[in-house]
Amino acid sequence: MASLRRVKVLLVLNLIAVAGFVLFLAKCRPIAVRSGEAFHEIRPRAEAANLSAHSASPIQDAVLKRLSLLEDIVYRQLNGLSKSLGLIEGYGGRGKGGLPATLSPAEEEKAKGPHEKYGYNSYLSEKISLDRSIPDYRPTKCKELKYSKELPQISIIFIFVNEALSVILRSVHSAVNHTPTHLLKEIILVDDNSDEEELKAPLEEYVHKRYPGLVKVVRNQKREGLIRARIEGWKAATGQVTGFFDAHVEFTAGWAEPVLSRIQENRKRVILPSIDNIKQDTFEVQRYENSAHGYSWELWCMYISPPKDWWDAGDPSLPIRTPAMIGCSFVVNRKFFGEIGLLDPGMDVYGGENIELGIKLARYTKEGFLHLGALGTTTLLPDTRCLVDNSKSRLPQLLDCDKVKSSLYKRWNFIQNGAIMNKGTGRCLEVENRGLAGIDLILRSCTGQRWTIKNSIK
């Protein structure tokens, strides 16, 4: 109790000092009064950094930072939200700066069970602050670029099922801490029917008290799988732009502005922020060099070297055009994503979306490629391709005829008014009507499909 009283006394004294500064500024500096439209909504937390970026004086900047610090004291000492969950807030502690965190021998023994359960050291994660700092690996030029203040707002969507609570909340804290408040419309947590009790009421109570009005929780009533869970997140989003992320990520400063700027320039772009690695055993942040995303003949997404023109430019801040993607991190205009049919709801697990979205972009937009980074151009796939059934995807693919591994996969049996069947897989082509999203050509088991082909010469 004595400690709590001391905190309250210090808080009151600090507030008096800050109030004195504000009163002094009000007396000494003229204030321009504008119409009601010019007033901005004041939102709790993380506001000081954003306001100071908008032409505040050094004194005002110091006052705002002090207010933010006092607000943190109120949250941590008086509310104790994270402490009640056995978690830690603040910018220091283990793993600070993205360095490897360690456990004592006694703690190592306790960590074995949770590590096997989650596939990463969740026990160690609970000892690392939800607000820990991580290194900024952006090229120098990226840090110097200036962006418009009138960028579209983003809805950040996290998908999870039975993820460790500390990892989910660190993702949320990191998004709030490193996304300018005026650009962050909301954070949407999509729970794909988790079993863990800590992901139910404790999670919901924490985010609603910690970030009132900012975080939504969407609960799937049955296990839908990653792809359909992302679609549910998209349905709940209200921002002009949607960002889809796994719920085990951390953001760096300045990540949002270049992404939103590129989409503002052209709404038919899909942006993939550059990704570094968090090591599963120590939570050390490991730098990854920029690369493009391609795919193997087995259609697994993989890192590939950027194209020659990117290397020739000699500017690491330029974006990299890429025909495929890693689905754990991508940003797209919300309405445009709906126009191209979202992701295929027939996919139950991850992997296929890496290829599918690239194919859709080539069909629906002249830009045709996904983007890695802040700036750049795109190209189209050439037209010397064969229709291929790779035996795994619901969608047939257009691939370079000379590079198809098995010739059977590009060969089709067809009789007029009969089915179009792939010789390699025995699957047949079928048309699927997706309403406003249009019509898709898909592959299914042969069940008496009938096609009539008409040739025309122009």
Beta-carbon contacts of residue 238 (< 8 Å; ≥ 6 apart): 155, 185, 186
Domain 140-372, second-level architecture: Alpha-Beta Complex (3.90)
CA atoms of 262 and 432, how far apart (whole Å): 32
CA atoms of 395 and 454, how far apart (whole Å): 23
In degrees, rounded to 5, the angle at the alpha carbon of residue 450 between the alpha carbons of residues 395 and 343 is 20
CA atoms of 27 and 97, how far apart (whole Å): 41
Strand partners, 21: none
DSSP 77-95: III-HHHHTT---SS-SBT
With beta carbons less than 8 A apart as the criterion, state whether 251 and 175 touch.
Answer: yes
- C-beta neighbour count of 409 within 10 angstroms: 22
CA atoms of 249 and 329, how far apart (whole Å): 9
Query: pLDDT per position in the chain (458 positions), as tens?
Result: 444 455 455 555 555 555 555 454 444 443 333 333 322 232 334 444 444 444 456 677 667 766 666 666 555 544 468 888 888 888 778 889 889 998 888 888 888 877 778 888 888 999 999 999 988 888 888 888 889 989 999 999 999 999 999 999 999 999 999 999 999 999 999 999 999 999 999 999 999 999 999 999 999 999 998 889 999 999 999 999 999 999 999 999 899 999 999 999 988 888 888 888 888 888 998 888 888 887 777 677 778 888 888 888 888 888 888 777 777 889 999 999 998 888 888 777 666 777 777 767 765 554 444 444 433 222 223 345 678 887 878 888 877 676 776 667 778 887 778 888 888 889 998 888 776 666 778 888 898 888 876 643 33
CA atoms of 449 and 225, how far apart (whole Å): 29
With beta carbons less than 8 A apart as the criterion, state whether 370 and 361 touch.
Answer: yes
DSSP 269-337: -EEE----EE-TTT--EE-----EEEE-TT--EEEEPPPHHHHHHT-TTS-EEES---TTEEEEEHHHH
**């032409």: which residue's tokens?**
55
CA atoms of 109 and 97, how far apart (whole Å): 26
pLDDT at residue 363, rounded to an integer:
57
Q: Where do the structural domains in the chain lie, given as residue ranges?
A: 2-23+40-79, 140-372, 385-445
In one-letter notation, the amino acid at residue 184 is: L
pLDDT at residue 362, rounded to an integer:
62
Give the 3-state secondary structure of residue 155: strand
Residue 272: how many CA atoms within 13 Å on its side-chain side?
Answer: 25
pLDDT at residue 334, rounded to an integer:
95
What stretches of 96-227 adopt beta strand conformation (E)? Answer: 154-160, 184-191, 215-219
pLDDT at residue 240, rounded to an integer:
97
DSSP 176-207: HHHS-TTTEEEEEEEE-S---GGGTHHHHHHH
Q: Which two tokens stand for residue 134?
A: 């991580």
Q: Which helix (H) or strand (E) holds 357?
A: helix 353-364
